[in-house]
Each structure stands twice: as C-alpha cells, then as structure tokens.
Amino acid sequence: MVALESTILSHGLPAGRNLEVAARLEDTVRRAGAVPATIAVLDGTPQVGLTTAQLERVCSPDEDLDKLSARDLGPAMASGRSGATTVASTSVLAHAAGIGVFATGGLGGVHLPPPGETTTWDVSADLAVLGRTPILVVCSGMKSILDIPATLEVLETGSIPVLGYGVDEFPAFYLRSSGLPVPHRVDGPGQVAGAMTAHRAFSSSGMVLANPIPAEAEMDRELHDRLLAEGLAKVGETAVSGADVTPVLLEHFHTASGGASLDANEELVVANAELASRVAVELAR
C-alpha cells in the first residue's frame, strides 16, 4: 500500500486541478501494482483510503477544510471536524494503519525568514514527527521555499536517513538540484527496500527518499528564484504566519508563474507516487 496526503490537494493546489491530480495519483499507484490510500479526517474520523465522493469533498473549495498537522488530530477528532492531513499527520495515520510507504510532493521544513528578518521559529512538524514515525516518505526534497541546508541539518538531528534516488545532489522540489550533497545515494527500488529493512532492524525513525523532479518538468531557475524572492516579500508584508505560510507561498508561485509551477508540482508528485509504489511492491515481495 502507498499512503497519499490531502493537504497538497486542499491547500497546495487550486480547486479543479486538485481533483485531477488526486485521481491521477491514485491511478499511478494502481498501475504500478500497489494500492493507494489517500488520507484525511472527515467529520472527526480519520480515513485511510477515500471513496470517490470523499476525495471530491477533500478537493471541494466549498468544504473549506482545516489543515491538520499531527498535533491537531486529537482535537479535530474529538470535535467532529474535517481536515486535510499534512506530511506529519498523514505519516502518523498511515503508520497506525500499518502502511510503511508514503508519497508526497515536498517535505515541510525550516522556513526562510522574510526579508529584513534574521530568523523564524517556523519549523514544520513534519521533521519532528518523522523522527519518531517509521515510514518512508518519497518526496522531491523539501519545498524550495524553505531553508534547505537548515532542514537537512534538522533531519540529521532527528536521525532520519536521507536517500537520494539516482542522484548525488539533494533535489530542490521545483528544481532537480539544490547543490548540496545527499548523504546516501540509492539506485533502484531494490536498494531502497534494502536500506529500509536494514534501518528498521534497529530504528523506528522515518526515512526520506528524495526523488528529483523529472528533467522535462523542471522549472526555469531564474523564474524560480524571482518568484521565491517575491513570495517571501509578500509573506513579510502581509504578516501571514503559521500554517498559512506554505499555502500562500505555493499560491504565489502558481499564479505568478502562469501555471508553470503547477505543472511542475503535478509532475513531481506523480513521479513520487510511482517510485513509492515500486518500493512498496519490492517490500511486499
């Protein structure tokens, strides 16, 4: 089985497009021989695997779902609320359901400070949760709107193995490389499964499998850097904070690039779903 998250659908992609991507992701997993389980909380109940109607609900702008991180699960369940799950909460629920492989676009991480500020305490719970949750997250690195070197340091602190899939340089979400070396390179699902099995023998932490965006879908680097500078300035000016920062930055990329970053985001997450499925099939052998 391969877990898929729902925050990327409800808060990361525009309405309409999100449902197309959701269907394509599930289809990609099935074609690769695995079973998809998209995860969300609906009316207070965690759902691991959604019906078509539930998936439509998660993708509908009228539903206005909460963005639920791991700490929000208990309160949301107790009060009967509905929400989309992030990498952190999806990992928790997938593991509780016995699923060991999870595909997403980009991991959360250490946020960059807006211009004029020197630091931010905005560090995604994705990192702390992965430190204690045995799951493999297949992603295209962390989102490039983040401080990638700092996030790699926090992953090391959490004793979370970071594997680069077929690359020596750590990917940067919309871009194939961040210029930073990956700690361990793996080539092929067999090597990923081998590393996972060996790690599981003595550790219950999560693992990151960083899969670079397909070359033909990579964004133009200059455009990327300009949009990032603009997005950070916007966050600084509008005093957006907390859980809203990531959706606001992604939305800026999507509108200001005329949809180019949207295409890139879709292609990378589909590629990650495919790779996660190949690893899950290998593990089941």
Shortest Å, Cβ 11 to ligand PSU: 6
Q: Which residues of 10-41 are buried (b: 16+ CB within 10 A; e: fewer)?
A: bbbbeeebbbebbeebbebbeebebebbbbbb
Between 124 and 133, name the residue whose CB sits nearer to ligand PSU. 124
Is 124 annotated in a binding site? The answer is yes
| Residue 106 touches which of ligand PSU, Mn ion, none (Cβ within 5-8 Å per kind) | ligand PSU
Looking at the chain, list the stretches that DSSP marks H as alpha helix, in order from N- to C-terminal side.
Answer: 7-10, 17-31, 52-59, 73-78, 87-96, 125-130, 148-157, 189-200, 221-238, 245-256, 260-284
**Which residues are registered as beta bridge partners of 46?**
41
Whether 234 is a known active-site residue: answer: no
Is residue 122 within the footprint of Mn ion (CB under 5 A)? yes
Between 124 and 178, name the residue whose CB sits nearer to ligand PSU. 124
Residues at the interface with ligand PSU (CB under 6 A): 5, 7-8, 11-12, 86-87, 104-106, 108, 124-126, 243, 246, 250, 265, 269
Residue with tokens 């210029």: 179
Residue 235, token pair as written in the block: 């966050």
> CA-CA distances (angstroms) from residue 236 to 162, 229, 230, 232?
31, 11, 10, 6
Nearest residue to ligand PSU by CB is: 105
Helix (H, G, I), strand (E, B) or coil at 142: strand
Is 64 annotated in a binding site? The answer is no
**Residues 39, 91 contacting (CB under 8 angstroms):** no
Whether 56 is a known active-site residue: answer: no
Between 12 and 212, name the residue whose CB sits nearer to ligand PSU. 12
The one catalytic residue in 26, 143, 266, 274 is 143
Is residue 126 within the footprint of Mn ion (CB under 5 A)? no
Task: Say which DSSP state 180 is in.
Answer: P
Nearest residue to Mn ion by CB is: 122
Between 28 and 91, name the residue whose CB sits nearer to Mn ion. 91
**Active-site residue set:** 5, 143
List interacting residues with Mn ion (CB under 5 A): 122
Annotated binding site for substrate: 67, 87, 124-126
